[in-house]
Amino acid sequence: MQGLPVGAAKAIFAEAALYKKNRRNPEQLPLKGQTWAMIFSKSSTRTRVSFEVGIRELGGESLFLNANDIQLGRGEPIADTARVLGRMVHGAVIRTFAQQDVVDFANYAKIPTVNALTDDEHPCQILTDVFTYEEKRGSIVGKKVAFIGDAACNVARSWVYAAEYFKFNLVLAAPEGFESSVTNAHVKQVRSPEEAAANADLLYTDVWISMGKEAEAAERIKAFNGYQINSKLLSLAHKDALVLHCLPAYRGKEITEEIMTSRAEDIFDQAENRLHVQKGILHWLAHSRNA
């Protein structure tokens, strides 16, 4: 959401809804004749598949490049990788560790570059989450969103940016040492999951151990004890509250099996919406570049 022009999300959501409705009968192929590189340094199921399928459905081809299979993994600088790929492909989708690598890639490649998750942000996920909330409950403006768990992680940070962009109230509940380092007037940080959940319109969580944090697993499992979406926490939320999870989910940790089962329809609709919203993003990129 950082840097996304005002009105862009509205345009992206409108296209996403059309692509969702007309999935089997596409009228537009904005990526026809294009090849997009997908450079991934971390594991992925949803992001990889939704982008690869989405690029194909928009008429383009995708080239999956595991960072360890290209020279980048042996130490070739990101700037040189970008200068090479920028001369060969039409766009790039990048999942990596350092946010700066995505910025550097975009600057050196001079092609549309999409952040598919870094240590700092996961913007395509949160755009999808807001789309999913609005699809199911209407406008998110002024609503209360409760994030329970690792407020220092990429997903929470993108929620912070989204709160300002979309004008909703975000309450982050995290244990000491796992607060968000970024904030704004729409964000409140608390210790108590119950305080965050009280009267919330959306309850949201993410894994306790993000990719790259595996060495801290034992310490994190201890610290996040109690930061779980369960039926007791849900009973404090608004009676019509939605429960979403970016997935993958670890049952018995950040969410219970019971809630995953009872809210599966919404959570897997959310996962499906990655495809539609990202097609909206790619469409918007294709059109704003041609404008």
Residue type, 181: S
Q: How far apart are CA 287 and CA 108, in angstroms?
A: 21
3-state secondary structure of 204: strand
Does the annotation mark 189 as catalytic?
A: no
By CB under 6 A, the residues from 241 to 280 that bind ligand CP are: 246-247
What region, left, alpha or beta, does residue 33 occupy, with left being phi > 0 and alpha being psi -120 to 50 degrees? left
Cβ burial 181-197 (10 Å sphere, 16+ → b, else e): eebeebbbbeeebeebb
| Candidate list 101, 119, 120, 125, residue with the active-site label | 125
Residue 155 lies near ligand NVA (rule: CB under 6 A) = yes
- Residues 41, 113, 125, 270: which binds ligand CP (CB under 6 A)? 125
The DSSP H or E segment spanning 270 is helix 264-290
User: Of 89 and 277, which CB lies nearer to ligand NVA in the complex structure?
Assistant: 277
Is 100 one of the annotated active-site residues of the chain?
Answer: no
Least separation, in Å, of the C-beta of 15 and ligand CP?
21
Q: Which parts of 15-74 interact with ligand CP (CB under 6 A)?
A: 44-47
Residue number, 64 or 97, with CB nearest to ligand NVA: 97
Length reported for the chain: 291
- Taking CB under 6 A as the binding criterion, the range among 77-85, 151-159, 195-203, 229-237 that sits at the site for ligand NVA is 151-159
Residue 95: active-site member: yes
End-to-end Cα, the chain, rounded Å: 21
Question: Nearest CA to 118 among 155, 80, 84?
Answer: 155
Is residue 124 part of the annotated active site? The answer reads no
CA distance readout (Å), 93 to 12, 16, 31, 44, 57: 17, 18, 14, 12, 16
The DSSP annotation for 217-231 comes to HHHHHHHTTT--B-H
Which of 274, 276, 278, 283 does the annotation list as catalytic?
A: 274
238 assigned to active site: no
CB of 263 to ligand CP, least distance (A): 16
H or E element in which residue 66 lies: strand 61-66
- Identify what 152 binds: ligand NVA, ligand CP, none; CB under 5 to 8 Å per kind: none
Q: Assess 127 for contact with ligand NVA (CB under 6 A).
A: no
Which residue number, 126 or 186, has a Cβ lying nearer to ligand CP? Answer: 126
Q: Which of residues 223-282 bind ligand NVA (CB under 6 A)?
A: 246
Binder of residue 162, out of ligand NVA, ligand CP, none (CB less than 5 to 8 A by kind): none
Residues 65, 117, 211, 266: what is their CA dihedral angle, to the nearest 10 degrees?
A: -110
Q: Which two tokens stand for residue 181?
A: 């380092």
As measured in angstroms, the least distance from the Cβ of 198 to ligand CP is: 27
Of 109 and 244, nearer to ligand NVA (C-beta) is 244
Output the six-digit token pair for 171.
Answer: 């309450």
Q: Note whether 153 binds ligand NVA by CB under 6 A.
A: yes
| Contact predicate 64/117, CB 8 Å | no
Asked whether position 126 contacts ligand CP by CB under 6 A, the answer is no
Residues marked active site are found at 95, 122, 125, 206, 246, 274
Residues that bind ligand NVA (CB under 6 A): 153-155, 206-207, 210-211, 246
Interface positions with ligand CP (CB under 6 A): 44-47, 117, 125, 246-247
